[in-house]
Structure 1
């Protein structure tokens, strides 16, 4: 069976992911070398060496996810959902605070962000539960309401950390799965109205620090030394890159002008050093992965596999848009990493597991297509003989 899977994998998807990971590793080194010395008073390869460790771990998880039959996840939706909620509750009591958000659990020299893994857990749960409820999906109370309550609980736990960026990704990704689940459009429209009302309420209750993020995004020059500092320096990095960039390793903004250049704002460094060509390379590969994921979801005749593929693709697409929106001033800065590129173990491992599942789904889709084609050919051969 393993040999059969390897034969039917979508290798264009595998190559795209590996190219992004390799490129991201190189850019993490370039973007973080100065920051490592300035902030941690250590060697310039500090973040690079740690990212290599995370990349090795993520590649192992990637291979396991590629081999593990995606349909088996349906058997574990209760423990997956339970562990996801438990981790979010646990982080409130034993979590460490970074950038004013209690989002991390420390394990010795390393730490991980539970909300990253919850994103995939929720997608698996939604795909399983909505595929199970297809017979009565048009009944809002029986088919749609219970999963919505779970989404609301997880969203509230993540937003209260507060981690508005991840909460936004969870809400939008869940919305994509819901739209594709077969729910009636009048129910979807009603949910959109409720979402707008809740967003308006959340807007009115923003803390001064959270409100400053919107000021920094949409009017950065009103406070260039504080709320607008990140975005202004991101603009400078992007503008100075031009078409071909200043050259690899030649960024000026990473010398203390752009905080955390190897995480949230790594695309600004890519734009500065490699120019528009580097940006197009990254966005092109990310766009291809998202596009292929949706194609796999459409081609998959199993409702669970289809919703799972669409949810994973939607998550990667939404996270990309949120990150790029932050560095260009379209969205407030929320600390969301650029998929496969930014420094960080939790995000990289989660994404590699997710794409591994996506590739496993594509293999089963290709096997089914081959079997169907073989059956048709055999049937035609029998008819000719008769």
Structure 2
């Protein structure tokens, strides 16, 4: 039995995560070695050493979630405390949180910090996937099957937005939208939800317009329109210089010029600019191919999974990685305004890599169950007799 289970694991996903994490660790050292000394007065390997510890803890978390049966998270004994703790963490930020870059989003413990909103992303995925999986028999009853789970989503996005961290709140909302669209509810209900959402959000935006449309945020929009004509375009202009300087082969590992104080967040938000400058198109393509593989592989696992909970979980986790990667890369290249979102697996950050490792452990676990059932439990015959009976409607229609 154990041998069969071990054979069923998706080792290609594990390899992709390991390669990205190790590559990210190398680039964090390269991108932060000067900033650590000049800006913070730390040793040159300060962020590198901290990220190594983050990766060790993340490897333990990944292994645990890859072994822990994902279906156990359907239990209210796990689901309810998870939701309660996530909201309690977001609320406690206002009492004990530490403000950095105009956002009170972290708990500070000496030189270490925790960002609760990173873990809320995964909690939202697990909660919405579990609730909508349980509601499959009445998923199109709007008041009973559609609306109730959205109370938690609304509170989570609201608490994150008023930190204020609108970038993370928008990502959480986008991830939830993908899960809702894939849950099996009719397009009519999806449209109705969208209309209600606009009617709720619009008045909140008007009420909070002074906090939302601050000088800094409006400056980011000005920089997006023309970074060369505003003081707020400083970061984006230097990102352009880094992206353009690398060419095909790059200047060489450790040879970036823009990391020498021109890109203050060179090891977090702008790490891809440093990669492009030092390793050129080859380095950029290496990262994009691995992230793209993880996202597409996760979506494929979601489509293959017969269990609605596992299917929605895989789709939610894949969409989270894809959406966050797009927001980061589009921001540093000027496609959208900058939002300060880390690049998955590559950017420095303990909360980010730990949350991603937990999510990838769950995805690998789902993949294992799918492969094991297909290989050893005669699932193929059952699929022919009752094709995709339990898969949410949108996914089933796509497969057809």
TM-score range relative to shorter protein: over 0.9
Match of 2:250 in 1: 245
Alignment partner of 1:216 is 2:218: no
Verify the 8 A CA contact 1:2 1:67 in the aligned structure 2.
no
Q: Mark the CA change 1:131 to 1:214 in structure 2 (over 3 Å): closer, same or farther.
A: same
Q: Mark the CA change 1:374 to 1:324 in structure 2 (over 3 Å): closer, same or farther.
A: closer
Give the alignment partner of residue 93 of structure 1, picking from 81, 87, 95.
95
Q: Mark the CA change 1:372 to 1:247 in structure 2 (over 3 Å): closer, same or farther.
A: same
Verify the 8 A CA contact 2:374 2:380 in the aligned structure 1.
no
Q: Report the CA distance between 1:109 and its aligned residue.
A: 2.9
Match of 2:396 in 1: none
Match of 2:193 in 1: 191
Verify the 8 A CA contact 2:373 2:379 in the aligned structure 1.
no
- Note the alpha carbon deviations across 1:257-284, whole angstroms, 9 max, x for none: 1111000000000010111111111011
Q: Mark the CA change 1:183 to 1:251 in structure 2 (over 3 Å): closer, same or farther.
A: same
Give the alignment partner of residue 279 of structure 1, picking from 261, 275, 284.
284
Match of 1:103 in 2: 105
Please give the residue correspondences for 1:190-339 in structure 2 after superposition, counting only pairs within 5 Å: 190-195=192-197, 205=209, 206-223=213-230, 226-339=231-344
Question: Structure 1 CA distance, aligned partners of 2:329 and 2:103?
Answer: 21
Q: Report the CA distance between 1:159 and its aligned residue.
A: 0.5
Verify the 8 A CA contact 1:242 1:276 in the aligned structure 2.
yes
Report SS of the residue matched to 1:23.
helix
Q: Mark the CA change 1:329 to 1:198 in structure 2 (over 3 Å): closer, same or farther.
A: farther
Verify the 8 A CA contact 1:218 1:330 in the aligned structure 2.
no
- Note the alpha carbon deviations across 1:143-165, whole angstroms, 9 max, x for none: 11111222111101001001111
Alignment partner of 1:132 is 2:134: yes
Report SS of the residue matched to 1:102.
strand
Report SS of the residue matched to 1:40.
coil
Q: Report the CA distance between 1:371 and its aligned residue.
A: 2.2
Match of 1:152 in 2: 154
Report SS of the residue matched to 2:148.
helix
Alignment partner of 1:169 is 2:174: no
Match of 1:367 in 2: 372
Match of 2:357 in 1: 352
Give the alignment partner of residue 118 of structure 2, picking from 112, 116, 119.
116
Q: Report the CA distance between 1:215 and its aligned residue.
A: 1.6
Normalised by the size of structure 2, how large is the TM-score? Answer: 0.90
Q: Mark the CA change 1:201 to 1:334 in structure 2 (over 3 Å): closer, same or farther.
A: farther
Q: Aligned-residue CA RMSD in angstroms?
A: 1.6
Match of 2:62 in 1: 62
